Amino acid sequence: MGDKMAGRHGNKGIVSKILPITDMPFLPDGTPIDMILNPLGVPSRMNVGQIYECLLGLAGKYLGEHYKIKSFDEIYGPEASRSFVFDKLYQARLKTGLKWLFQPSFPGKIRIYDGRTGETFHQRVTVGIAYMLRLVHMVDDKIHMRSTGPYSLVTQQPLRGRSKQGGQRLGEMEVWALEGYGAAFTLLEMLTIKSDDMTGRMTLWSNFILNKEISIGTPESFKVLVCELQALCLDIGLFRYTETINSLASAPLSNTSSPKYFSNDKKEKAKNNLHLKEINSLLNLP
Residue 110 phi, psi (nearest 5): -130, 145
Considering the domain architecture, whether residues 194 and 84 belong to the same structural domain is answered as no
Burial grade of 220 (CB within 10 A; 0-12, 13-18, 19 or more): buried
Rounded to whole angstroms, how far apart are CA atoms 44 and 244?
52
Assess if residue 175 is contained within a domain. Answer: yes
Full-prediction pTM beyond 0.85? no
Assess if residue 228 is contained within a domain. Answer: no
Q: Look at residue 175 and tell me whether its pLDDT is greater than 80.
A: yes
Burial grade of 201 (CB within 10 A; 0-12, 13-18, 19 or more): middle
Average pLDDT on 259-281 reads 49
Give the CATH number, domain containing residue 62. 2.40.270.10
Considering the domain architecture, whether residues 185 and 166 belong to the same structural domain is answered as yes
Assess if residue 102 is contained within a domain. Answer: yes
Assess if residue 225 is contained within a domain. Answer: no
- How many domains in the chain? 3
Give the CATH number, domain containing residue 150. 3.90.1800.10
Q: Domain residues for 245?
A: 235-282
Given 90, 113, 134, the domain boundary residue is 134
pLDDT, tens digit, 9 for 90 and up, residues 182-231? 999 999 988 888 888 888 888 888 888 888 888 888 888 888 898 999 99
Q: Look at residue 272 and tell me whether its pLDDT is greater than 60.
A: no
Assess if residue 13 is contained within a domain. Answer: yes
Considering the domain architecture, whether residues 127 and 75 belong to the same structural domain is answered as yes
